[in-house]
């Protein structure tokens, strides 16, 4: 029996997870896997119930699982918790990433047919956009030494060459399986950590002569990402730059509600890597509980789970296809429907559906795809 820990968390987290689980379960069944999906508390919900955002029972479940299917954590209510280490983000998500050394965070961004009018960019700039950002996830400012005093504060950015090296190997291997182009994003004209990133990346690149690597300052990259997003293939970068750029990449493709993620490390078994799978959008407290959230980023994260933690490539593709077909058939959660409804050029207004209905539409299409 394979175990997947389900941590819905806060805000829209539980809704998008609940809307996605039936399709993930079905994909597992159809690929002959015997999987159980026990749930546990995390984030603010766990803090409210137990006084800690990552209680021992949750850790125990995650330790005994092959992957974590994660919603989102945080919300304004919890920003007032005096100890920052007990706040949902710092107290649960970051420790989970660190505990399992989930150093490689994959964030694939593409444009789905029918959603070209959704982006704020003109459709001609989106043609061929298929980007994979690989963000380093367990180092940099997020985990460096920190101090907060009344009149000063600092967050140190620190990286070991070995941390950069493993991320770059991961990125080069990913590039080998795609368009064989890799862009390293850094700030080596100012930051010494970036100087090290560049040096290590150049060394690793010699082992992958078939991949064409180039590099780019982060400020310029932010500009190129809106000017010519389709010119990039795999992008590798450090933790905080990756955080910022992937929100930008999501917006370029149309909605942050479409951007999935996989966080992978070195742990694994015969099926695949241990991983944490979560949508990139966060807990969106303003729309929580209203059925307005888009579950597609979570469903696409479930596809990544099938691919990387369960070794089921066909099932992963089937789920991705089911999402694409659902969009092609005009199903739209509010984030996708409004600009079109306002008359966005070249886009059908589509059928406005709730979080749950979107999940059901994907499941229905998944049933029709043969992949077992």
Task: Compute CA distances 44 → 12, 52, 78, whole Å.
Answer: 12, 8, 6
Q: How far is the CB of 52 from Mg ion (least distance, A)?
A: 23
- Choose between 265 and 339: whose C-beta lies nearer to ligand IPM: 265
Of 136 and 335, which CB lies nearer to ligand IPM in the complex structure?
Answer: 136
| 146 vs 228, beta carbon nearer ligand IPM | 146
233 binding partner (options Mg ion, ligand IPM, none; Cβ < 5 to 8 Å by kind): none
Rounded to whole angstroms, the Cα distance separating 77 from 79 reads 6
Within residues 278-307, the interface with ligand IPM by CB under 6 A covers: 280, 282
Q: At 279, phi and psi to the nearest 5?
A: -70, 155
* Closest to 350 (Cα-Cα) out of 364, 329, 370: 329
Q: How far is the CB of 131 from Mg ion (least distance, A)?
A: 16
Nearer to ligand IPM, 74 or 275 (CB): 74
Is 187 a residue of the active site? Answer: yes
Nearer to Mg ion, 163 or 243 (CB): 243
- Asked if residue 93 binds ligand IPM (CB under 6 A), the reply is yes
Kindly report the number of other CB atoms within 10 A of residue 240's CB atom.
17
Rg (CA), the chain: 20
**Residues 64 and 70 sit within 8 Å (Cβ to Cβ):** no
Give Cα 113 to chain centroid, integer Å: 21
Which residue ranges make up the site for Mg ion (CB under 5 A)? Answer: 243
Q: How many helices (H) and strands (E) does the chain have?
A: 13, 14
Catalytic hit among 112, 159, 187, 308? 187
Q: Is 28 in the site for ligand IPM (CB under 6 A)?
A: no
Cα gap 11→30, rounded to integer Å: 31
CB of 1 to Mg ion, least distance (A): 34
What backbone torsions phi and psi does residue 215 show, to the nearest 5 degrees? -140, 165
- Residue with smallest beta-carbon separation from ligand IPM: 89
Left (φ > 0), alpha (ψ -120 to 50) or beta: where does 74 sit? Answer: left
In the beta sheet, which residues pair with residue 214? 183
Taking the complex as a whole, how short is the minimal distance between the CB of residue 297 and Mg ion, in angstroms? 12
Q: Contact at 8 Å (CB) between 91 and 51?
A: no
Count of residues of this chain found to bind ligand IPM when the rule CB under 6 A is applied: 6
User: Does 89 engage in binding with ligand IPM (CB under 6 A)?
Assistant: yes
**247 in catalytic set:** yes
The single-letter DSSP state of residue 39 is B
Cα-flanking dihedrals φ and ψ of residue 196, to 5°?
-65, -40
Report which DSSP code applies to 289: T
- Pick the closer one to ligand IPM by CB: 187 or 312: 187
In the complex, what is the shortest distance from the CB of residue 25 to ligand IPM, in angstroms, rounded to a whole number? Answer: 25
Instruction: Give the SS3 label for residue 165.
Output: helix
**Structural contact between residues 44 and 79, judged by C-beta atoms closer than 8 angstroms:** no
- The 59-78 contact track toward ligand IPM, x by CB under 6 A, reads ---------------x----
Q: Which is nearer to ligand IPM, 53 or 74 (CB)?
A: 74
| Contact by Cβ (8 Å): 157, 191 | yes
Answer with the entry of Mg ion, ligand IPM, none that 88 interacts with (C-beta below 5 to 8 A by kind).
Answer: none
Q: Which does 54 bind (CB under 5 to 8 A by kind): Mg ion, ligand IPM, none?
A: none
Which of ligand IPM, Mg ion, none lies near 116, with the C-beta cut-off 5 to 8 A by kind? none
* Residues from 204 through 263 that contact ligand IPM (CB under 6 A): 243
Give the span between the Cα atoms of 248 and 336, in whole angstroms: 17
Restricting to residues 324-353, which ones interact with ligand IPM according to CB under 6 A? none
219 counts as catalytic: yes
For residue 163, the minimal CB distance to ligand IPM (Å) is 16
Pick from ligand IPM, Mg ion, none: which does 89 bind, CB < 5 to 8 A by kind? Answer: ligand IPM
Residues marked as catalytic: 142, 187, 219, 243, 247
Binding stretches for ligand IPM (CB under 6 A): 74, 89, 93, 243, 280, 282
């Amino acid at each position: 029996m394979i175990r997947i820990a389900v941590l819905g968390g806060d805000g829209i987290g539980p809704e998008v997870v609940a809307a996605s689980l039936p399709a993930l379960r079905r994909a597992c069944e159809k690929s002959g896997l015997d999987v159980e999906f026990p749930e546990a508390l995390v984030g603010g919900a766990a803090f409210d119930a137990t006084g800690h955002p990552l209680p021992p029972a949750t850790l125990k479940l995650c330790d005994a699982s092959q992957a974590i299917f994660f919603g989102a954590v945080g919300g304004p209510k919890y920003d007032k918790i005096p100890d920052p280490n007990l706040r949902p983000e710092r107290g649960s998500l970051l420790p989970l990433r660190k505990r399992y050394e989930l150093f490689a965070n994959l964030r694939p961004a593409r444009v789905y047919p029918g959603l070209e009018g959704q982006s704020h960019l003109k459709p001609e700039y989106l043609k061929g956009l298929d980007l994979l950002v690989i963000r380093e996830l367990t180092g940099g400012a997020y985990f460096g030494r920190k101090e907060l005093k009344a009149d000063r504060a600092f967050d140190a950015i620190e990286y070991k060459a070995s941390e950069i090296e493993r991320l770059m190997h991961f990125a080069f291997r990913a590039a080998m399986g795609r368009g064989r182009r890799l862009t390293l994003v850094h700030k080596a004209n100012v930051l010494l950590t970036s100087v090290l990133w560049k040096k290590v990346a150049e060394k690793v690149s010699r082992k992958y002569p078939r991949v064409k690597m180039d590099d780019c300052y982060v400020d310029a990259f932010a500009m190129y990402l809106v000017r010519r997003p389709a010119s990039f293939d795999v992008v590798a970068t450090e933790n905080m730059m990756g955080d910022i750029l992937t929100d930008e990449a999501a917006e370029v493709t149309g909605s942050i509600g479409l951007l999935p993620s996989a966080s992978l490390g070195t742990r694994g078994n015969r099926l695949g890597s241990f991983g944490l799978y979560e949508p990139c959008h966060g807990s969106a407290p303003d729309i929580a509980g209203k059925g307005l959230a888009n579950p597609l980023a979570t469903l696409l994260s479930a596809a990544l789970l099938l691919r990387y933690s369960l070794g089921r490539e066909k099932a992963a593709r089937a789920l991705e296809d089911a999402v694409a077909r659902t969009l092609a058939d005009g199903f739209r959660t509010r984030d996708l429907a409004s600009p079109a409804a306002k008359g966005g050029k070249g886009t059908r207004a589509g059928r406005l559906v709730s979080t749950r209905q979107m999940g059901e539409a994907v499941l229905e299409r998944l049933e029709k795809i043969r992949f077992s």
